[in-house]
């Protein structure tokens, strides 16, 4: 099975579980609609699918991955809802659809984000598919990766960076936090649940970190060279703002070089972890070469 076939198959499995998870909770209708609207807004589910592929590198896939996979996507979705708000990035469209606050109003969008974030921890802590040790590992690492030392820190620094020029190391630091930490957690969670030995977990951590950078650099590159219909937002929307990006700081060729550097690092980490499963290698090429 190629990675694209794997992604397409796992997307529908993931969508079903994500919707079930939210549907079965007793949530006021308007709030539930708003949460589901953003969860259904056509996300690629790359983070949960990365978790599954990593798990499969260690043992056959099972429903064991569901709670962590759902929790990651709920947290990713909340972060997009809050990030799109007028006080943050002020975006009217995401993936070709009106953003949550455009569709439901700002107050509801804030609450939908808060609700998805909080429910992510409920999904893990209340699951019958995980033992106590697994629940605590996942909650501790997820709350750190997505909290004020992780993703939220990255969003804060990103917001501040809009008003000033930053250098390459600052840009890398922001992205390691803002997008990298959750991608890194997806890999760590998959490896841990799959039963990776501690030295393997450490190498997988390097893989996850590198993958996060590849994603972000490619995002920046696509904003310069991509096709609006495929990426779902106006091309050049970063360029027209004051925002620092990899192509702006390094040029397009330099950004591509940087991306290749991280692609090599990611491959090296997989080799060090004795991973032979092809999906995780394909993930590197997919992340670096995708055109949407």
Least distance in angstroms from the C-beta of 163 to a second copy: 11
- Site size with a second copy, rule: CB under 8 A: 52
Q: Does 149 bind a second copy (CB under 8 A)?
A: yes
Find the binder of a second copy among 19, 36, 61, 157 (CB under 8 A): 157
Considering only CA atoms, which of 228, 234, 197, 205 is closest in space to residue 291? 228
Question: Tokens 């990255």 — which residue?
Answer: 154
Give whichever of 56 and 141 is closer to a second copy, judged by the CB atom. Answer: 141
- What is the C-alpha separation between 178 and 155, in angstroms, rounded? 6
Find the binder of a second copy among 2, 160, 227, 241 (CB under 8 A): 160
- What is the C-alpha separation between 231 and 250, in angstroms, rounded? 22
- What is the C-alpha separation between 17 and 23, in angstroms, rounded? 10
Stretch that binds a second copy, among 41-49, 80-88, 237-245, 265-273 (CB under 8 A): 80-88
Q: Does 19 bind a second copy (CB under 8 A)?
A: no
Pairing verdict, β 97-98 and 93-94: antiparallel
Considering only CA atoms, which of 84, 76, 44 is closest in space to residue 237? 84
Give whichever of 3 and 70 is closer to a second copy, judged by the CB atom. Answer: 70
Least distance in angstroms from the C-beta of 188 to a second copy: 15
Q: Does 169 bind a second copy (CB under 8 A)?
A: no
The DSSP H or E segment spanning 98 is strand 97-98
Q: Does 152 bind a second copy (CB under 8 A)?
A: yes
Find the binder of a second copy among 133, 198, 229, 253 (CB under 8 A): 133
Considering only CA atoms, which of 284, 174, 269, 166 is closest in space to residue 218? 284
Give whichever of 31 and 61 is closer to a second copy, judged by the CB atom. Answer: 31
Q: Read off φ and ψ for residue 93, nearest 5 degrees.
A: -130, 145
Stretch that binds a second copy, among 13-21, 54-62, 122-130, 243-251 (CB under 8 A): 122-130
Considering only CA atoms, which of 94, 93, 52, 59 is closest in space to residue 73? 52
Positions that interact with a second copy (CB under 8 A): 25-28, 30-32, 35, 78, 82, 85-88, 101, 105-111, 113-119, 121-122, 125-126, 132-133, 135-136, 139-140, 143-144, 146-149, 152-153, 155-157, 159-160
């Amino acid at each position: 099975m190629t990675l694209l076939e794997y992604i397409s198959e796992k997307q529908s499995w993931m969508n079903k579980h994500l919707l079930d998870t939210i549907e079965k909770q007793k949530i006021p209708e308007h709030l539930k609609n708003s949460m589901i609207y953003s969860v259904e807004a056509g996300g690629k589910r790359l983070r949960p699918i990365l978790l599954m592929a990593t798990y499969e590198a260690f043992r056959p896939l099972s429903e064991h991955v569901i709670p962590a996979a759902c929790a990651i996507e709920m947290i990713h979705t909340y972060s997009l809802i809050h990030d799109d708000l007028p006080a943050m990035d002020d975006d009217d469209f995401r993936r070709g659809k009106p953003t949550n606050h455009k569709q439901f109003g700002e107050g509801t969008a804030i609450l939908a984000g808060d609700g998805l974030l909080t429910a992510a921890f409920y999904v893990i802590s209340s699951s019958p598919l995980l033992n106590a040790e697994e629940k605590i590992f996942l909650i501790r690492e997820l709350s750190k990766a997505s909290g004020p030392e992780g993703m939220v820190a990255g969003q804060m620094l990103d917001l501040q960076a809009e008003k000033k020029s930053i250098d390459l190391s600052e840009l890398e630091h922001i992205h390691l936090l803002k997008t990298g930490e959750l991608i890194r957690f997806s890999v760590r969670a998959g490896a841990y649940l799959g039963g990776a030995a501690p030295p393997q977990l450490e190498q997988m951590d390097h893989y996850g970190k590198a993958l996060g950078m590849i994603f972000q650099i490619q995002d920046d590159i696509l904003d310069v060279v991509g096709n609006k219909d495929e990426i779902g937002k106006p091309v050049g929307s970063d360029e027209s703002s004051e925002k620092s990006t990899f192509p702006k700081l390094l040029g397009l060729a330099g950004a591509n070089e940087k991306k290749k550097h991280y692609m090599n690092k990611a491959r090296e980490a997989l080799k060090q972890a004795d991973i032979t499963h092809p999906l995780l290698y394909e993930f590197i090429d997919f992340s670096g070469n995708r055109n949407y």
